[in-house]
A and B are shown apart, each in its own frame.
Chain A
Amino acid sequence: MSRTNILNILANQNHMTDEAIQQEQALIELAKKDELAFGKLYDRYFDGIYGFVYRRTDEEQLAGDITSQVFLKALQNIKKYEFRGLPFSSWLYRIASNEVNKYYRKKNRKVVFSLEEERIREIIEEDEEDHKEAHLSLLVECLNEMKTGVIEVLELRFFEEKNFKEIAYILDISESGAKMRTYRALEQLKDNFNIKIKDNGEA
């Protein structure tokens, strides 16, 4: 059962320019001195972090609670934050990832990845309009067989559109490890799907 799909890797990634990073740094420095300035960072990143946590929990209220916890930790530790050439959001994603993992460890529950069908259709271009449902269920089956760590990388890469450097920082793994997990996952997917990658040079 092999179908041709085109995988849009980083088709519309939202990377920050140097100027934007500098502006953000100024805002962070301000937030270190005046906690009221943290509000701007909260407004800017709340939706993104909530979306990430919701995708990892599939429960609205729980995602809201964990996201609040993420921002509380960020506020408490903002003085310790150091710029490492990555956007501030990476630091928040790292806290969010740790908080989600902590929740699953504490509750001893199965980790959930709730993926939007719409987004999957954006990522995977299909050459056949038929059998879309069957296609999706096959994809879910394939993803269920992969390791959780691999899904984490895929989620950050294709749903959050993070680059490998950011993924490595968020998941506390090496950059080569993040790349390796992605390529292995793509190899596994190639067993069932005929994938053509629309590469923009980085992947």
Chain B
Amino acid sequence: MGKHEIRLRRKMMTSRRIERHKNYAGLMKQHHKTQRTRTIVRWVVFILIFLMSMILIFKSLDKNVKRTNEAKIESQIKENNKLEELKPPRIQYM
């Protein structure tokens, strides 16, 4: 036996029996429902992407601020050290 099964049907499907399965109003209802769901999902994804990108931007800005602050402190320390070196040595009097 193959992966399929052949069945023989005595009667042809009639239009009246097919008609019972027709439901255009139901189809439209389902279509609008899926459209609404799609729109909601799209908005949620958009908001999530927006929030993620904002977080990333804030983080990178924060890093930059920290880096500049550190650089400032380092340069201040260096300047202080230089000034220390330029000062004349202290003479101790007995």
Contact = CB atoms under 8 A, between A and B. Distances in A.
Interface of A: 35, 39, 42-43, 46-47, 50-51, 54, 58, 60, 63-64, 67-68, 71-72, 75-76, 110-120, 136, 140, 143-148, 151
B13 A148 contact: no
B3 A111 contact: yes
Interface of B: 1-13, 15, 17-18, 20-24, 26-28, 30-31, 34-35
Contacts, number: 89
Main secondary structure of the interface of B (DSSP, over half): mixed
The 9 closest A-B pairs by CB, nearest first: A64-B21, A111-B4, A114-B7, A148-B4, A143-B6, A140-B6, A116-B9, A50-B18, A116-B12
Contacts of B18: 46-47, 50-51
B10 A117 contact: yes
A109 B73 CA distance: 72
Given A39-B24, A50-B21, A112-B7, 9 more contacts: A47-B15, A58-B9, A68-B23, A68-B27, A116-B8, A118-B11, A119-B12, A140-B6, A146-B2
Contact of B31 (A43, A72, A146, A148): A72
Contacts of B10: 117-118
A118 B11 CA distance: 7
Main secondary structure of the interface of A (DSSP, over half): helix
Contact of A144 (B1, B17, B20): B1
A144 B22 contact: no
A79 to B, nearest CB: 12
Given A113-B7, A117-B8, A117-B10, A148 B17 contact: no
Contacts of B23: 68
Contacts of A111: 3-5
B14 to A, nearest CB: 10
16 contacts: A42-B27, A46-B22, A51-B13, A54-B13, A60-B17, A71-B27, A72-B31, A111-B3, A112-B5, A136-B8, A144-B1, A144-B2, A144-B5, A145-B2, A148-B2, A148-B3
Contact of B4 (A54, A75, A76, A151): A151
Contacts of B27: 42, 68, 71-72, 75
A112 B7 CA distance: 7
B31 A151 contact: no
